[in-house]
Amino acid sequence: MKPTIYDIAREAGVSIATVSKVINNTGRIGDKTKQKVMKVMKELDYQPSIVASALTGKRTHTIGLLIPDIANPFFAEIARSVEDMGNELGFSVMMCSTDNNIDKESKYISLLEQKRVDGIIIATGTRNTDVLQNLLKKKLPIALIARDLPSLPVDTVLVDDYMGGYEATSHLISLGHQKISIIAEDLKVMSSKERIRGYRQALEDHGMEYDEEQIHVSDFTIEGGREVAATILAENNPATAIFACNDLLAMGVIQAAREIGVEIPSDLSIIGFDNTILASLCDPPLTTIAQPIQDMGKQVVELLVKEIKQEKQSKQRVVLMPSLEVRNTTSDNTKNLV
Amino acid sequence: MKPTIYDIAREAGVSIATVSKVINNTGRIGDKTKQKVMKVMKELDYQPSIVASALTGKRTHTIGLLIPDIANPFFAEIARSVEDMGNELGFSVMMCSTDNNIDKESKYISLLEQKRVDGIIIATGTRNTDVLQNLLKKKLPIALIARDLPSLPVDTVLVDDYMGGYEATSHLISLGHQKISIIAEDLKVMSSKERIRGYRQALEDHGMEYDEEQIHVSDFTIEGGREVAATILAENNPATAIFACNDLLAMGVIQAAREIGVEIPSDLSIIGFDNTILASLCDPPLTTIAQPIQDMGKQVVELLVKEIKQEKQSKQRVVLMPSLEVRNTTSDNTKNLV
DNA sequence: ATGAAAGCGCTAACAG
DNA sequence: CTGTTAGCGCTTTCAT
């Protein structure tokens, strides 16, 4: 069996209270006893049980990370930065892929509560406000990343989606495109709405017409992007540029274009969003709006941990700026220059 | 405060033992009391504390997953399948990215022990046999995925790397390539050795010369692949085909080739290993050796959980077959046909 | 400076 | 069929 605090106490000839104190470096213990206890702990390869410690009201030092899918490069990258920062601050992270499914989400959250995690970071897109509201009531610290729920008083870290949408569209416009389609993820999700708003504003600022018809909705899969793009390209007088609201969608657009022989970027310009590893590897490399993933992950964890340690009273929203990453899927709209 | 078993007991007018029994569905309890208790649990939104339950010797229903990097698509995909299967069997997974760093690995393992995880799945590549040996001694269930440690009696799920190396090389040979380089991950790691052995055997079976000079070593990063490939392509009479031991490496090779104007596949054929999402998205799409990731993840979890539940006595090795996925980075070696 | 003891929320005999 | 009770390993007053 694993040695317990009793074994250490016995072996060191002290009480368990003393051992506990040296473990936690609390109270006052003589230097000799301290050394002695530490020595015994080493010898017996003793590891305090976090489970037992948590039962007495201390933290579990574990946080939950709710994301749509860990196999999605964008979220995998977020997960990595969350894990790194969490680890640095002494927290392990439990991963929960919800597929944006409301049931899975609830189930996972309930599970995390049972396991008494110290806090939860949420990146999933469901508009599951009730469950979150509930968490809030229970005082379970939560923080949002890459996701916005303005109605909820929670720490949030995200990119300025409106700005991103604006920049993406402006880039396309500056290249001479007159008909620009947008493929959004989900009209009900805030970030999606904001990107569309940015798209619209850019159009209007440049005196171009905003046409509802050009708004297409898909999900966050390659397949989804492929299908929608196929529809768009099959139109009579198809758009010469497509703004895909995430890189995965953009991959789908590239595939769809390739399938019907549409050249990128000469026949069709494409811009994505996220700047995942895919953007630099696909063919041709994708022009996209970059999110500062590392920074975002780092900041949510910091916020959440402060919340956990009750080192702060007010909730915060930190909005980071996205940036345009020009690669090879966008170019002058030569067709219209003829 | 969260309601405890005492709250339920009081509210339902029974003892905590009774409540415990209805929670775990053990012992015999009258139907009425059962209903009553369940009703109260619902009303108070009671969730049994897994922490407390674990302290009494029951499982934590949590497993650790040690991988080099969750942001690496191959491991992210593994993680997803592990998470899904784990979830299905009632286990949460804690993610641990070690960067193949021996210290991080030890630290994470120690942490997982403290948190009393029920078992650990290991996919990291360090030859950290001591730590594992230790785990084995402590009877902590562990299982290996995509990784082989023949000296250790542990459940293992992997692909036949030798076969994969053989197929990859044979494919290249069948295309007429006479000079084939291989970029391996780490000569000390079993899977790497096996892939090289397969490469060598294929060469010999086809009456071709095996040349140590053609074995190059890198890591598992794009950058690493790029650098090594640059070296290879800068040789006097460079290889006409490269077998990159993982997809990431292959991405680097593609980049290196592009940088110096070497056409793929006409000037250079490339084959990867893993068949991650990258393989289908890069440009040109990568011919590669596919690992049945879903199946692998599913099977390790099953093995580990059986081990945890002590439903099996003997350790097992399951070796799955890889398969060749032909895409566009390999073609006839036309040069030599001239 | 150190120890005794109560208690965290739950499980598992053992009684009744 | 249900309740009493003794832990599980640790933290935390409160004495000494």
pLDDT tens across A193-224, in order? 999 999 999 999 999 999 999 999 998 889 99
Q: Does A77 reach chain B within 8 Å, measured CB to CB?
A: yes
DSSP three-state, residue B268: coil
pLDDT score of B336: 52
Sign of the alpha-carbon torsion through B63, B67, B71, B72: negative
Report how far residue B107's alpha carbon sits from residue B113's, in angstroms, rounded to the nearest whole number. Answer: 10
The phi and psi torsions of A106 (rounded to 5 degrees) equal: -60, -40
Residues whose CB is less than 8 angstroms from the CB of residue A211 and which lie 6 or more positions away in sequence, other chains included: none
Query: pLDDT value at position A338?
Result: 44
Residue numbers in chain A where pLDDT is lower than 70: 334-338
What separation, in Å, do the N-terminal and C-terminal C-alpha atoms of chain A show? Answer: 81
The CATH number of the domain covering residues in B62-158+292-321: 3.40.50.2300
Segment B76-80 shows an average pLDDT of 98
β pairing state of B92-97 and A92-97: antiparallel
Helix/strand/coil for A44: coil
End-to-end Cα separation, chain B, in angstroms: 81
Q: What is the pLDDT of residue A180?
A: 96
Residue A304: count of CB within 10 angstroms of its CB: 28
| Distance between the alpha carbon (CA) of A307 and the C1' atom of C6, Å | 30
Q: Indicate the residue type of A315.
A: K
On the question of a cis peptide bond just before residue A68, with omega within 30 degrees of 0, the verdict is no
Domain residue ranges of chain B, discontinuous segments joined by +: 5-48, 62-158+292-321, 161-291+324-336
| Torsion sign, CA atoms A88, A92, A98, A103 | negative
Residue B63's SS3 state is strand
CA distance B281 to chain A (A): 5
Distance CA(A41)–CA(B111), nearest Å, equals 16
- Answer whether A303's CB lies under 8 Å from A143's CB: yes
Element (H, E) at A4: none
| pLDDT value of position B333 | 83
Span B113-138, average pLDDT: 91
Can you tell me the distance from the alpha carbon of B219 to that of B223, in angstroms, rounded to the nearest whole number? Answer: 9
pLDDT in tens, A121-172: 999 977 778 889 999 999 999 999 999 998 899 999 999 999 999 999 999 9
Which residues numbered 50-69 in B keep a CB inside 8 Å of some CB on A? 50-52, 54-55, 60-62, 69
Is B103 strand, coil or helix? helix
Angle made by CA atoms A15, A16, A17, in degrees to the nearest 5: 90
Tell me how far apart the alpha carbons of residues A77 and A73 are, in angstroms, rounded to a whole number. 6
8 A C-beta contact, residue A300 and residue A334: no
Helices (H), B67-152: 73-88, 102-114, 129-137
**What is the CATH number assigned to the segment(s) A5-48?**
1.10.260.40
Interface residues, strand C, Cβ cutoff 7 Å:
A 13-18, 21, 27-30, 32-34, 52, 55-57; B 1-2, 4-6, 16-17, 20, 23-24, 26-27, 48-49, 52-53, 55-58
CA of A53 to C1' of C1 (A): 24
Class of domain B161-291+324-336: alpha beta
pLDDT for B335 beyond 70: no
Upper half-sphere CA count for residue B12 (Cβ side, 13 Å): 29
Mean pLDDT of B98-118: 96
The strand pairing partners of A63, in sequence order, are A93, A119
One fold for A62-158+292-321 and A161-291+324-336:
yes
Nearest to A301 by CA among A112, A83, A118: A83
Give A100's strand partners: none
Provide φ and ψ at B243, rounded to 5°: -105, 105
- For residues A221 and A218, give the distance between their C-alpha atoms in angstroms, rounded to a whole number: 8
B159 close to B321: Cβ distance less than 8 angstroms: yes
Q: What is the pLDDT, as a whole number, of residue B338?
A: 44
> What residues of chain A, 279 to 338, have a C-beta less than 8 Å from chain B?
281-285
Q: Is B44 helix (H, G, I), strand (E, B) or coil?
A: coil
Please report the pLDDT score of residue A127 as a whole number. 74
Mean pLDDT of B89-114: 96
**Which positions on chain C have an atom < 7 Å from some protein CB?**
1-5, 7-14
User: What's the confidence (pLDDT) of residue B334?
Assistant: 67
The predicted pLDDT at position A73 comes to: 96
Cβ within 8 Å of residue B28, ≥6 positions away: none
Look up residue B303 and give its DSSP letter.
H
Name the percent of chain B lying above pLDDT 70. Answer: 99
pLDDT attached to residue A35: 93
| Cβ–Cβ under 8 Å, residues B89 and B151 | no
Q: What is the pLDDT of residue A220?
A: 83
Q: Among B41, B105, B115, B328, which would you mutate to test the A interface (most chain A Cβ atoms within 10 Å of its Cβ)? A: B115
Looking at residue A237, the DSSP 8-state letter turns out to be S
Q: Measured in angstroms, what separates residue A5's CA from nucleotide C13's C1'?
A: 25
| A329's tokens | 């899927």
Residues on chain A touching B80 (C-beta within 8 angstroms): 69-71, 97
Confidence (pTM) = 0.94
A49 touches B: beta carbon within 8 Å:
yes
pLDDT band at B150 (very low <50, low <70, confident <90, very high): confident
Residue B36, token pair as written in the block: 């009553």
Report the mean per-residue pLDDT for chain B.
94
Nearest to A69 among B2, B80, B281 (CB): B80
Residue located via tokens 């009696």: B153
The length of chain A in residues reads 338
